[in-house]
């Protein structure tokens, strides 16, 4: 029986917000890649995110290693979007630096 080589696409799916999720889980691609970059093995990543399937993690890491620039571009866009959301939230909240002081003043003394 001959061996057939198959080319599988990575187990990634785009959610409604444009984020890439791994396999059937809700785990973001960036979480898996950052964990791998920090030295985590695929097995350790699955332990950290138990909804992931080990073959999916291996496949995503393989895809990353073969398409590093594309994945890094995606990760950069996600980080830029997160920074923009953070800036927007912070601008709407105003200055929060005095909240701790006000809360400590209102707290009843321990006795």
Task: Specify the 3-state DSSP secondary structure of 34.
Answer: helix
Q: Name the percent of the chain in helix, strand, coil, to the closest 5.
A: 55, 5, 35
Q: What pTM, to 2 d.p., does this model score?
A: 0.77
Task: Specify the 3-state DSSP secondary structure of 52.
Answer: coil
Neighbours of 10 (CB within 10 A): 19
Domains of the chain in start order, with CATH, are: 12-106 (1.10.10.10)
Q: What pLDDT does residue 82 have?
A: 92
pLDDT 10s digits, 33-51: 999 999 999 999 999 999 9
Q: What pLDDT does residue 111 have?
A: 61
CA distance 55 to 18: 23
Enumerate residue ranges in the chain where pLDDT < 70.
Answer: 94, 96, 111
């Amino acid at each position: 029986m001959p061996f057939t080589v198959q080319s599988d696409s990575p187990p990634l799916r785009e959610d409604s917000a444009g984020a890439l999720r791994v396999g059937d889980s809700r785990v973001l691609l960036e979480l898996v890649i950052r964990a791998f970059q920090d030295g985590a093995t695929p097995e350790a990543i699955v332990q950290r995110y138990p909804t992931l399937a080990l073959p999916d993690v291996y496949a995503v890491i393989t895809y990353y290693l073969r398409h590093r620039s594309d994945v890094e571009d995606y990760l950069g866009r996600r980080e830029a979007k997160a920074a923009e959301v953070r800036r927007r939230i912070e601008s709407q909240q105003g200055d929060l630096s005095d909240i701790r002081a006000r809360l400590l003043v209102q707290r009843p003394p321990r006795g």
